[in-house]
């Protein structure tokens, strides 16, 4: 066994993967997983667990893998995490469990994410569906708004505790960002679908095509017999840079672009009815995970893709792995550049992006150095398609339609440490309360909210 | 849910539906719309609810067959279901006591006006409807709207019914002789742009219901963004009605035709049965 280096994860070669939407990272084989599990030091005070927002007993499940007892492994994982085949793929492990792993102090940390994914995929492939013991129904109803990771997690926990849970989702498919945002080469549709089915199998009902705030408001949900409500409505409102020409044809928000491709399968037009139009020179503005996903999707549609960011590579909030993958796939990067205006042709199609060069000044509130425009440095870039991925704000319909629901200036729903909002019986979590964060953070808050709802309804 | 209850052809290319959808029928207000999807590989398209019956739990819809999805929708028969239907969406139409109101539409868009006209009447307004069409064969809901409004003015391109000419010309004539407090228009962007200009000239509050391209219809994609008074707004959440003279219609017209080639291709394949 090699303590220093982890068992490498195989990947599709870049030339091949830019031609399709197949998953880039190939999971461990059984033997590889067992070998990797042997690297774990089985620390008595495991630091890795502190790095996991939902506190999975990592050494315990890794030990089960080492002993080739995958059924035990999945049981251990599922005690704290309902969606391991999702988190094993998309968690920013380098900042979380793996970032805290003791072995990582000297060598490469244990590949916790890959092991988690292996166990979850193995269980799914072998039809081992570990269901926790469901308590008998207590006859109490809870409504959950939004079927993203926070809502699914909250629902699953409450169902286990005996509540009758209904999730309302406005889109025609459940999963939130997992379904409409994260592309299938990072998170295949089949994985999301299986996890949603699992949550349903616990007794959670999911109703699609229901926009809460228009068809029912929160008061009506209470009137319909729901004792408590969880808001897991996410941060789906796209931000635009507020510069001239931003509504020209060919300028998409990242959400629109990803929504068309991931949810509506527009890349398969005309087999699927939703179109997408993308020119030869594509520019993606931003530097987060959403930026990288948009750029890599555009690349798969066969275009020259440049990522434009107003700071430098060091400040990019996207996962390092995603940036690396993007580079391998042929993305270009232009740092210290920001758009100031867009110009189009007679048909209103975007053709030119006027930019200004930036330099880094003093650190701002986030600790990153603030970009400042360099006077007189404007220049033009030829573009055919622009994808704007500069961030999303919380969905505004529920705050707009709910009096007394306290929100911050950024539009996030105010909650206390138990995910309680300013309205009695209403709880919230995930991106709706934090702004765009991570899948696992959303799940953590869904779990906390479930506990809080349980306390609330038990005392009533 | 969302089962087709009744169906009838109103004019060539225009289909009228009554749909069983009790929950939406209970909540919807005049001027709101739904987003539908008709098959597993289908797109999401917006449709205004023409009228509703809260007791019977039904919704009425007038579908103009302009492309593949609207044709597929129009091909549904009683007893069949619409796969997905999300609503109500958008902000309801302003229903106040304005005084003298003129509504103006062309052919199929009369459908979208119907429940608004009824509500405006109920709120005590004197309501006139100016209805344009290619010829008398293309008039939609003529009798139904005629039965509700105080005055129905028909304008056909060929003069086969009512006055000869466009609806906007009839509006100009009408405004010369009548004092009007409020104008509402639903039609092509080109027509609504002209109506907005006319309304402004006379200093009359004029609203237009915009047909921006939509995807989710809930404020998550920005496909429907329009420029109103220099600011970006989302037609699905902030609209669909806006003050007509503040809308950048040229931009809207360009945005509406962005997918023209794809739409043509989809239609050609559809017609060839592929
Ligand atoms: C492109 C992209 C890539 C990402 N990549 C990663 C990654 O690699 N790793 C990671 O950890 N995180 C990633 N994230 C962030 C992560 O996906 C989110 O933090 C997480 O999904 C938040 O979960 P949530 O449950 O709060 O909300 P969401 O997943 O946003 O789900 C909210 C759901 O609520 C529904 N909804 C909203 N309003 C209503 C209403 N009024 N009525 C009914 N339904 C409603 C929405 O339709 C949506 O389905 C990414 C995000 C995006 C957009
Ligand atoms: C708020 C609103 C209410 C509407 N109400 C009605 C109604 O009551 N009855 C009716 O017949 N039509 C209505 N429409 C228009 C209807 O949505 C389009 O005609 C339909 O989407 C066309 O789809 P298609 O595939 O048949 O045609 P396509 O060939 O795809 O397109 C034809 C034209 O329709 C428009 N269009 C295409 N896709 C969309 C889309 N996703 N969203 C909006 N417009 C699109 C474009 O301008 C396009 O040029 C409404 C539109 C909006 C925005
Ligand atoms: S859930 Fe995420 S952070 Fe926790 S162990 Fe799994 S991969 Fe690591
Ligand atoms: S910190 Fe690393 S080595 Fe220690 S138990 Fe956790 S995974 Fe194993
Ligand atoms: S249709 Fe997506 S934001 Fe309006």
Residues of chain A with pLDDT under 70: 130, 132, 134
Distance from C-alpha of B37 to C-alpha of B43, rounded to nearest angstrom: 6
Of the candidates A390, A406, A439, which is a domain's last residue? A390
CATH of the domain at A26: 1.10.1060.10
Residue A376, helix vs strand vs coil: coil
Asked if A70 and A184 sit in the same domain, the reply is: no
Distance of CA B6 to the CA centre of its chain: 20
Residue A142 Ramachandran class (φ > 0 left, ψ -120 to 50 alpha, else beta): beta
**Closest to A82 (Cα-Cα) out of A138, A120, A50, A126:** A120
pLDDT of res. A365: 81
Q: Do B219 and A236 touch (CB under 8 A)?
A: yes
Contact A453, A415 (CB under 8 A): no
A396 vs A386: CA distance, rounded Å? 25
Q: Is there a contact between A280 and A286 (Cβ–Cβ < 8 Å)?
A: no
Same domain, A256 and A188: no
Q: Would the CB atoms of B265 and A270 count as touching at under 8 Å?
A: yes
Confidence of residue B124 (pLDDT cuts 50, 70, 90): very high
In angstroms, what CA-CA distances link A144 with A159, A169, A427, B88, B180? Answer: 12, 9, 9, 19, 48
A256 and A364, same domain (yes or no): yes
> pLDDT tens digit string along B165-205?
999 999 999 999 999 999 999 999 999 999 999 999 999 99
Every domain of chain B with CATH number 2.40.30.10 lies at: 3-89
Phi-psi bin for A410: left (phi > 0), alpha (psi -120 to 50), beta?
alpha
Burial-class residue B116 by CB neighbours within 10 Å (0-12, 13-18, 19+).
buried
* Atom 3 in ligand 5: residue holding the nearest Cα: B219
pLDDT of residue A363: 86
Assess whether the C-beta atom of B236 lies below 6 angstroms from ligand 5. Answer: yes
Listed in sequence order, the residues at least 6 apart from B260 whose beta carbon sits closer than 8 Å to its beta carbon are none
- Beta-carbon separation of A209 and B251 below 8 A: no
One domain, residues A305 and A414: no
Burial zone of A401 (CB within 10 Å; 0-12 exposed, 13-18 middle, 19+ buried): middle
Is residue B91 within 6 Å of ligand 2 at its C-beta? Answer: no
Could you tell me the residue range of the domain that residue A419 belongs to?
Answer: 141-236+393-458
Give the closest ligand to the alpha carbon of residue A171.
Answer: 1
In three-state secondary structure terms, A89 is helix
Kindly state the average pLDDT of the residues B117-133. Answer: 96
Q: Nearest-CA distance from B126 to chain A in Å?
A: 30
According to DSSP, the β-strands at B100-106 and B126-133 are: parallel
Residue A354, number of CB atoms within 10 A of its CB: 16
Q: What is the mean pLDDT of residues B250-259?
A: 94
- Contact at 8 Å (CB) between A53 and A441? yes
Q: What number does the ligand 3 atom closest to the CA of A88 have?
A: 7
* DSSP per-residue codes, A120-140: HHHHHHTT----PPPPPP---
Which atom of ligand 2 lies at the shortest distance from residue B63's CA? 11
Average pLDDT of chain B?
A: 95
Shared-domain flag, residues A341 and A271: yes
**Residue A396 CB coordination number (10 Å):** 17
CATH of the domain at A285: 3.50.50.60
Instruction: Tell me, yes or no, whether A163 lies in a domain.
Output: yes
User: Is A133 part of a structural domain of the chain?
Assistant: no
The CA-atom distances, in angstroms, between B78 and each of A120, B12, B47, B81 are 45, 19, 18, 8
Residues A245 and A378 placed together within one structural domain of the fold: yes
Q: Where are the beta strands (DSSP E) in A130-176?
A: 141-145, 164-168
Q: Residues A152, A228: one domain?
A: yes
Cβ contact A3:A105 at 8 Å = no
In angstroms, the CA A112 to CA A98 distance is: 6
Q: Does pTM top 0.80 for this prediction? A: yes
A103 CB near ligand 4 (under 6 Å): yes
| Tokens linked to B102 | 């003129």
Beta strand pairing call for B205-209 and A332-334? unpaired
Residue at A134 is within a domain: no
pLDDT tens per residue across span B60-83: 999 999 999 999 999 999 999 999
| Residue with token string 């699914």 | A152
Q: Which residue of B has its CA nearest to A241?
A: B232
3-state secondary structure of A41: coil
Chain B (27-66) residues lying within 8 Å, Cβ to Cβ, of chain A: 27, 37, 41-44
Q: d(Cα A371, Cα A311) in Å, to the nearest integer?
A: 6
Report CA(B211)–ligand 2 centroid distance (Å): 7
Distances (CA, A) of A440 to A52, A73, A86, A155: 8, 19, 9, 15
CATH number of B3-89: 2.60.120.260, 3.40.50.300, 2.40.30.10, 1.10.3080.10? 2.40.30.10
Q: Tell me the three-class secondary structure of chain B, residue by residue.
A: CCEEEEEEEEECCEEEEEEECHHHHHHCCCCCEEEEECCCCCCCEEEECCEEECCCCEEEEEEECCCHHHHHHHCCCCCCECCEEEEEECCCCCCCCCCEEEEEEEHHHHHHHHHHHHHHHHCCCEEEEEEEECCHHHCCCHHHHHHHCCEEEEEECCCCCEEECCHHHHHHHHHHHCCCCEEEEECCHHHHHHHHHHHHHHCCEEEEECCCCCCCCCCCCCCCEEEECCEEEEHHHHCCEEEHHHECHHHHHHHHCCCHHHHHHHHHHHHCCC
A47 lies in the same domain as A106:
yes
Query: Is the same domain home to A428 and A355?
Result: no
Are A411 and A279 contained in the same domain? Answer: no
Q: Which fold has domain B93-209?
A: Rossmann fold (3.40.50)
For residue A136, tell me if it sits in a domain.
no
Q: Which domain-ending residue is among A361, A390, A419? A: A390
CA dist., res. B19 & res. B58, Å (int): 5
What is chain A's Cα-based Rg?
A: 23
Q: Does B132 touch chain A (CB under 8 A)?
A: no
Is A321 found in the same domain as A341? yes
pLDDT at B274: 66
Residue A459: predicted pLDDT: 87
What is residue A233's predicted lDDT score, i.e. its pLDDT?
96
Contact B37 A210 (CB under 8 A): no
**Structure-block tokens of residue A221:** 């949900």
- DSSP strands (E only) in A4-117: 10-11, 25-26
- Mark which of A364, A390, A416 sits at the end of a domain: A390
Residue A109 is predicted with a pLDDT of 95
Position A3 in a domain: no
CATH 3.40.50.80 boundaries in chain B:
93-209
Question: How far does B42 lie from chain A, in Å, by closest CA?
Answer: 5
Residue A347 sits in the same domain as residue A305: yes
- Count of domains for chain A: 3
Distance from CA of A235 to the nearest CA of B (A): 9
ipTM over 0.85: yes
Dig out the tokens for A421 from the structure. 């909002």
């Amino acid at each position: 066994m090699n303590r220093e280096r982890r068992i490498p994860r195989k990947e599709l070669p870049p030339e091949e993967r830019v031609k399709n939407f197949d998953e880039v990272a190939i999971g461990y084989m059984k033997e590889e997983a067992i070998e990797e599990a042997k690297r774990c030091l089985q620390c008595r005070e495991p630091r890795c667990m502190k790095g996991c927002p939902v506190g999975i007993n990592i050494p315990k499940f890794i030990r089960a893998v080492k002993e080739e007892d995958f059924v035990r492994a999945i049981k251990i994982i599922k005690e704290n995490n309902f969606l391991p085949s999702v988190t094993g793929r998309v968690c920013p492990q380098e900042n979380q469990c793996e970032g805290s792993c003791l072995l990582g102090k000297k060598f490469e940390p244990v590949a916790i994410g890959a092991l988690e994914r292996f166990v979850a995929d193995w269980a799914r492939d072998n039809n081992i569906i570990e269901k926790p013991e469901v308590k008998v129904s207590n006859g109490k109803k809870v409504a959950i708004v939004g079927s993203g990771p926070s809502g699914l997690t909250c629902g699953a926990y409450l169902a286990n505790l005996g509540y009758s849970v209904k999730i309302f989702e406005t889109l025609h498919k459940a999963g939130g960002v997992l379904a409409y945002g994260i592309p299938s080469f990072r998170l295949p549709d089949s994985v999301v679908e299986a996890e949603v089915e699992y949550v349903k199998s616990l007794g959670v009902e999911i109703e699609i095509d229901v926009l809460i705030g228009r068809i029912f408001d929160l008061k009506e949900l209470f009137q319909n017999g729901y004792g408590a409500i969880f808001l897991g409505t996410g941060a789906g409102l796209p931000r635009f840079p507020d510069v001239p020409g931003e509504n020209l044809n060919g300028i998409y928000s990242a959400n629109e672009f990803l929504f068309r491709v991931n949810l509506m399968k527009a890349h398969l037009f005309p087999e699927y009815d939703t179109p997408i139009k993308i020119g030869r020179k594509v520019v993606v503005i931003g530097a987060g995970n959403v930026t990288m996903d948009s750029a890599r999707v555009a690349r798969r549609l066969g275009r020259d893709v440049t990522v434009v960011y107003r700071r430098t590579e060091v400040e990019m909030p996207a996962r390092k792995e995603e940036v690396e993958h993007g580079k391998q796939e042929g993305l270009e990067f232009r740092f210290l550049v920001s758009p100031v205006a867009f110009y189009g042709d007679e048909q209103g199609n975007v053709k030119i992006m006027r930019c200004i060069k930036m330099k880094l000044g003093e650190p701002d509130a986030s600790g990153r150095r603030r970009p400042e425009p360099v006077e007189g440095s404007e220049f033009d870039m030829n573009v055919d398609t622009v994808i704007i991925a500069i961030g999303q704000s919380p969905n505004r319909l529920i705050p707009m339609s709910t009096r007394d629901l306290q929100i911050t200036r950024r539009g996030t729903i105010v909650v206390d440490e138990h995910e309680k909002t300013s309205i009695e019986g209403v709880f919230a979590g995930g991106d709706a309360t934090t702004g765009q964060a991570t899948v696992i953070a959303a799940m953590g808050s869904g779990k906390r909210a479930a506990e809080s709802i349980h306390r609330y309804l038990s005392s009533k | 849910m969302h089962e087709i209850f009744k169906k009838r052809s109103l004019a060539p290319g225009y289909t009228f539906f009554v749909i069983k959808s009790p929950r939406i029928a209970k909540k919807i207000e005049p001027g709101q719309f739904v987003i539908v999807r008709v098959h597993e590989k289908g797109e999401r398209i917006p449709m205004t609810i023409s009228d509703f019956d809260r007791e019977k739990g039904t919704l009425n819809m007038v579908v103009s067959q302009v492309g593949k999805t609207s044709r597929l929708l129009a091909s549904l028969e009683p007893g069949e279901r619409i796969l997905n239907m999300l609503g109500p969406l958008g902000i309801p139409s302003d229903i106040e006591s304005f005084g003298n109101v003129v509504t103006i539409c062309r052919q199929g868009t009369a459908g979208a006006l119907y429940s608004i006209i009824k509500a405006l009447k109920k709120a005590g307004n004197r309501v006139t409807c100016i209805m344009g069409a290619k010829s008398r064969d293309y008039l939609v809901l003529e009798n139904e709207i005629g039965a509700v409004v105080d005055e129905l003015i028909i304008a056909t391109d060929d003069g086969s019914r009512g006055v000869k000419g466009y609806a906007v010309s009839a509006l100009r004539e009408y405004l010369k002789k009548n004092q009007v407090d409020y104008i509402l228009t639903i039609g092509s962007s080109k027509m609504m742009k002209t109506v907005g200009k006319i309304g402004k000239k006379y200093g009359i509050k004029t609203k237009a219901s915009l047909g921006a391209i939509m995807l989710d219809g809930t404020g998550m994609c920005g496909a429907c963004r329009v420029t109103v008074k220099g600011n970006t707004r989302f037609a699905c959440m902030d609209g669909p009605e806006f003050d007509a003279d503040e809308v950048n219609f040229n931009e809207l017209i360009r945005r509406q035709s962005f997918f023209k080639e794809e739409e043509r291709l989809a239609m050609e394949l559809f017609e060839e049965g592929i």
